[in-house]
Structure 1
Amino acid sequence: MTTDTGGAQTAQATPGILSSAYVWITIGACALVFLGAFESLAVTTVMPAVSADLDGERLYALAFAGPLATGVIGMVVAGNWADRRGPVAPLYTAVALFVVGLLVAGLAPTMEVLVAGRFAQGLGNGGLMVALYVVVARVYPRSLHPAIFAGFAAAWVVPSLVGPTIAGAVTELWSWHWVFLGVVFLVVPALLMVVPALRGLSREGDASAPWALGRLGWAVLAAVAVLGLDLVGDVPGAGPVLAAGAAVVALVAVRALLPAGTLRARRGLPSVLLVRGLAAGGFFGAQVYIPYLLTERYALSPTIAGLSLTGGALAWSVAATVQGRLGARLSSALAVRIGAALVFAGVALALAAAVFTAPVAVIVVSWVVAGVGMGLLSPRSSALTLEMSAPETQGFNSAAMTVAESFGSALALAITGVLFATVAEAGDPFVAVFALAGAIALAAAVLAPRVVPPAA
């Protein structure tokens, strides 16, 4: 009886993530995640206004693809740096890059300068997330990891619900500049909350561990190729050929960052990562043009256009919650198949709306359908990745999953950007980009059954 009571008292005495020992780092870390997520989602709403103000239609897609591409570099560098020297220096550097990117973008006089700021944002945000994961591993006891990661998840969900609408309102009331500059005043206090918990972590690393220069080199090459694809697409005469070459280089480079057989859709884990990357490419390749379509063709305000993304984000969140409660009653493989099919259905419905100039409600519904698909596919593909990973490969495969999603989105956005600019001169660019995004999503749906590993 005494032993049981002592055990119960010990369990009750275990501090939570909001206890006095962890409250400030919990709030600060979740705030940093929130601000990174907010910035990613808010820019989608305001970019049509930015493009019109800075005459930057040609670089519209690059403003989205660029941060995703440089984010891959940030992930690789921060992870390797944290293994060698601990997470403090990578975290501070990542936050500094993120803030510099916000300032450059917020004060940008031209679209080229704004895109450069977005590159710095992506580099910082990618490194920030990896460094925070290492901080969690070093600061929190293992028993609190599920709780703090649930906090991170919530920090991503909330911006997806309110970010687009807030960004649209800020743009209408003041200026799109403050969507970037306003976040700067929130990042610094969030970092200061984290600082006390970082003391003593600076030297927690293996300085003898080598720099993963090969992996870093491939990440840089993949990012440069994606960025180059968008920039060379409009070169007179040779543009399409150069763009195709850049796409090939990007795919060759990313191969080294993924498990063998990923690009060949080998059954099991390789197909899980490929389907996740394709689904993300189809979803985000279309999503960035939803507000653009609504403001350009339907003359809606940025605030109202942002609500269309809020519906998709809410659907994503609800679907993710439902699949979590279903647990084993819904197999992960089946959830991925259903999710991929719904992403394709949503993009296809958006394509139909663009072709026939359907009512705005149809576009909103299309993105709710696509959001449900991502809400099913994303968490279950994460679960499959861990299920199919040996303990010694969990780190590499988890990183590969993130790379596949970011790279798939970045490559799709770069290609749609070239297509949008090319078709704009002679046809309907929205129909063209939704058609391409639909083809990418269709590939995910077709390959989804291959996530089941081959029978023993």
Structure 2
Amino acid sequence: MRTTHRPLTTLALVLSIFMAALEMTVVSTAMPTVVSELGGLQSYAWVFTGYMLASTITVPIFGKLADLYGRKPVLLVGIGLFLLGSIASGLATSMGMLIAFRVLQGLGAGAMQPVSLTIVGDIYTLEQRAKVQGAFSAVWGMAGLLGPLTGGLIVKYLSWHWIFFINVPVGLGAMALLVVFFHEQVQRKPQRLDFVGAALLGAGVVALLFGVQGVGRNLLALPLGLLLLVAFVWVERRVPAPVIPMSLFSIPVIAISSVAGALFSAAMFGATTYVPLYVQGVLGGSPTEAGGMITPMIVGWPLASLVAGRLLLRTGPRPLIVVGLGLSVVGTGLMALLLRPGAPLVIPGLAMMLFGIGLGFTTTSMLIAVQTSVGWELRGVATASNMFFRTIGGSLGVGLMGGVMVAQLMKDASVPVSAANALLGPEHGQGLSPELLKTLSGALGTGLTINFWIISACTLAAFLVGLFFPKGGKGPGTAPPAAGVPMAH
């Protein structure tokens, strides 16, 4: 058995996370320009929700596969799918094609982040992990700084297609490092995958997503989605190798982290999706200015994560989680109050910074607490389930906000929704009459302002849930595990 080269393996994991993080900020920066070229503002949310939906469904599946067959092959497959989706997205010539290829990209993303973080949990001790996980989050800060600038420069000097092509060299480099330097010894168990549970989970999440986005007949998808998810839970309790072991959620640390994670992720993905759209579509900002609005959040996040990683072993996770979620409430509340036409961008920028700092304290503490509450054989699925609830929260939140935005644009039947695409072009509405421009800008601004209040409500709900996080000792994961769920070795 060859020994893992830990520094170069860590570099491969950093490249994987960096690729996914950079993609989020670059795409958010460039999407208004993409819509102005391809059309389809009414489908704007699906470019993000299609990606997140695919990763949501596959996160627990890849987590289970990583526990059964090892982390390395699963992560390599995930990166490969992500790169195929990136290349295809860059070649898209219509909004429908772009959404379809973003789904393929999301399938790969469902493996990349949870499996990468699981490997960190495997190759570092608890004391090292608290510091490494915090330092790992600095990748998001770098992506936050480079993403808006990179996206703006690509859109201005090349074309938006290149925001996807830039993933290829990074992804190939990460795969090469993993193949050569990461080695693991896995005792493979002859277990069958729970395909029925996976199918029920996927269908239930899709139905919920359609339900939260629509009105009229689409609302019928909500009870259907809930029924499918109830059936999923029923199946998971009875199969020998469930996609998500229900026994995990008898551990308070995991149960509370899952609910709070879904809520604050709805806020986070909502902010990264719709704040740039507001800046470019309502305020008339450039693509670089639009993307720059989320930079304070993504920079504040890793800075707080570094601090959290150093404090965690002394304070335990609960104080950091409560303080972090409290800061998030203040930040998103200020964003909802201050992001108005004519507002100086420095003010909502500070609000986004507070939001990011709060998320940095919260996510690092919760993740390490979750990983430490189970043993190696469940660490992959525990990490993946935590990521699953974050991505499902983000998917449903962005979908709901997309429905709110489109409903506002469709209020005036005499105004075609397609005309709103012109708001996002480089000339900001050139060719539209002043009356139509004012109507469209006002409708878009109203819809997005409602979304900002939804974001604020999500962080407040997450804070209230976080108050119930168990009071542990001077370290994470001190809550006793449920019967049948082993402690970390």
Match of 2:6? 17
Task: Return the offset for 1:395.
Answer: 4.5
Residues 1:414 and 1:267: Cα distance change in structure 2 (over 3 Å):
same
- Ranges in structure 1 where 5+ consecutive residues have no aligned partner: 1-13
Contact preservation (8 Å) 2:208, 2:221: no
Matches of residues 89-100 of structure 1 in structure 2 within 5 Å? 89-100=73-84
Residues 1:260 and 1:93: Cα distance change in structure 2 (over 3 Å):
closer
TM-score (norm 1): 0.82
Mapped to 2, the partners of 1:91 and 1:360 lie a distance apart of 39
Task: Return the offset for 1:180.
Answer: 0.5
- Match of 1:61, SS state, is helix
**Greater RCO, 1 or 2 (C-alpha within 8 Å, sep 6+):** 2
Q: Is residue 167 of structure 2 the alignment partner of residue 178 of structure 1?
A: no
Q: How many residue pairs get matched?
A: 429
Give the partner amino acid of 2:344: P
Instruction: Tell me which of 291, 303, 315 is aligned to 1:318.
Output: 303
Instruction: Tell me which of 250, 257, 268 is aligned to 1:272.
Output: 257
Match of 1:36? 20
Matches of residues 207-286 of structure 1 in structure 2 within 5 Å? 207-229=189-211, 233=214, 237-239=216-218, 241-242=219-220, 244-245=222-223, 248=226, 252=230, 257=244, 269-286=254-271
Q: Is residue 396 of structure 2 the alignment partner of residue 411 of structure 1?
A: yes
Mapped to 2, the partners of 1:378 and 1:385 lie a distance apart of 11
Residues 1:348 and 1:260: Cα distance change in structure 2 (over 3 Å):
farther
Contact preservation (8 Å) 1:41, 1:160: yes
Task: Return the offset for 1:364.
Answer: 0.9
- Match of 1:450, SS state, is coil
Mapped to 1, the partners of 2:245 and 2:35 lie a distance apart of 34
Stretch deviating more after TM superposition (304-313 or 141-150): 141-150
Give the partner amino acid of 1:431: T
Give the partner amino acid of 2:202: V
Mapped to 2, the partners of 1:359 and 1:296 lie a distance apart of 16
Matches of residues 65-214 of structure 1 in structure 2 within 5 Å? 65-132=49-116, 146=129, 152-197=136-181, 204-214=186-196
- Match of 2:267, SS state, is helix
- Match of 2:191, SS state, is coil
Instruction: Tell me which of 430, 433, 455 is aligned to 2:448.
Output: 430
Contact preservation (8 Å) 1:93, 1:124: yes
- Match of 1:38, SS state, is helix
Residues 1:434 and 1:148: Cα distance change in structure 2 (over 3 Å):
closer
Give the partner amino acid of 2:394: S
Match of 1:381? 366
- Match of 2:190, SS state, is coil
Match of 1:9? none
Give the partner amino acid of 2:6: I
Instruction: Tell me which of 437, 449, 468 is aligned to 1:450.
Output: 468
Contact preservation (8 Å) 1:72, 1:219: no
Task: Return the offset for 1:396.
Answer: 4.1
Matches of residues 341-352 of structure 1 in structure 2 within 5 Å? 341-352=326-337
Give the partner amino acid of 2:456: G
Mapped to 2, the partners of 1:134 and 1:273 lie a distance apart of 17
Match of 1:365? 350
Deviations, residues 235-261 of structure 1 (Å, cap 9, x unaligned): xx423x235446635764786648579
Match of 2:47? 63
Give the partner amino acid of 2:86: L
Mapped to 2, the partners of 1:392 and 1:323 lie a distance apart of 26
Match of 2:423? none
Deviations, residues 64-92 of structure 1 (Å, cap 9, x unaligned): 12222211333233233344444454334
Instruction: Tell me which of 320, 333, 338 is aligned to 2:318.
Output: 333
Match of 2:289? 304
Task: Return the offset for 1:340.
Answer: 1.7
Task: Return the offset for 1:440.
Answer: 1.7
Task: Return the offset for 1:161.
Answer: 2.7
Match of 1:10? none
- Ranges in structure 2 where 5+ consecutive residues have no aligned partner: 237-243, 412-442, 473-478, 481-489
Give the partner amino acid of 1:438: S
Mapped to 2, the partners of 1:15 and 1:270 lie a distance apart of 33
Q: Is residue 461 of structure 2 the alignment partner of residue 439 of structure 1?
A: no
Identity of aligned residues (%): 24
Residues 1:32 and 1:270: Cα distance change in structure 2 (over 3 Å):
closer
Mapped to 2, the partners of 1:332 and 1:92 lie a distance apart of 32
- Match of 2:284, SS state, is coil
Residues 1:250 and 1:401: Cα distance change in structure 2 (over 3 Å):
farther
